[in-house]
Amino acid sequence: MKIGVLALQGAVTEHIKAIEACGSEAVPIKTAAQLQDIDGLLLPGGESTAMRRLIDYANMLPALQQFAENKPVFGTCAGLILLASSVEEEEAHIGQMRITARRNAFGRQIDSFETPIAIQGVSDHFPAVFIRAPKIAAVEEQVEVLAVLDGDIVCARDRHLLACSFHPELTTDLSLMNYFIDMCK
């Protein structure tokens, strides 16, 4: 099993380590051609605007959109924003997951926090780390909500696409990463 990590900006190393800790091969992805050799793709946390600029600079957007149409993709934090079909007050990016994202919904960097949450089918007590986190403001009917925090959707699955508002790579709990790897099988 080869899981790619979009390696243009953000928490690339942390995601690679988490994937490898789950027993899968992690591949840093920097070009569109590399997408052909992987079973799933992780869009890491970081800064979504910077990532989009780098995606455009590398001319990767069409290839990422096509990949997400057909193969499993997991967007964490900024990756959720990239994956969303709608982003409040801005244009969508990869746009394949039928959700609406709201940037920085949990406040600024200084408002960062960690809290245990229940993720349906994954964990009853996942240690979720929120850093300038977005939230899922709305989902289409077919999208499965996997986790809610104080009434806000923070994790969802849409067919072969998964997204969360928090940073699973910053914990030692591999249950959500294993869930995504199982989606790729």
pLDDT number for residue 111: 85
pTM of the complete model: 0.97
Mean of the per-residue pLDDT values for the chain?
96
Give the helix/strand (H/E) hosting 3.
strand 2-6
Catalytic residue among 155, 164, 169, 184: 169
pLDDT number for residue 108: 82
164 an active-site residue?
A: no
Six token digits for residue 182: 């199982």
d(CA 144, CA 129): 21
Q: What 3-state DSSP class applies to 144?
A: strand
Catalytic residue among 14, 22, 167, 184: 167
pLDDT number for residue 116: 98
47 an active-site residue?
A: no
Q: Which domains does the chain have, with CATH numbers?
A: 2-184 (3.40.50.880)
pLDDT number for residue 1: 93
d(CA 115, CA 36): 37
Per-residue pLDDT of the chain (185 residues; tens, 9 = 90+): 999 999 999 999 999 999 999 999 999 999 999 999 999 999 999 899 999 999 999 999 999 999 999 999 999 999 999 999 999 999 999 999 999 999 989 888 888 999 999 999 999 999 999 999 999 999 999 999 999 999 999 999 999 999 999 999 999 999 999 999 999 99
125 an active-site residue?
A: no
pLDDT number for residue 100: 98
Say if residue 146 is exposed, middle or buried (CB neighbours under 10 Å; 0-12, 13-18, 19+): buried
Catalytic residue among 77, 155, 164, 184: 77
pLDDT number for residue 177: 98
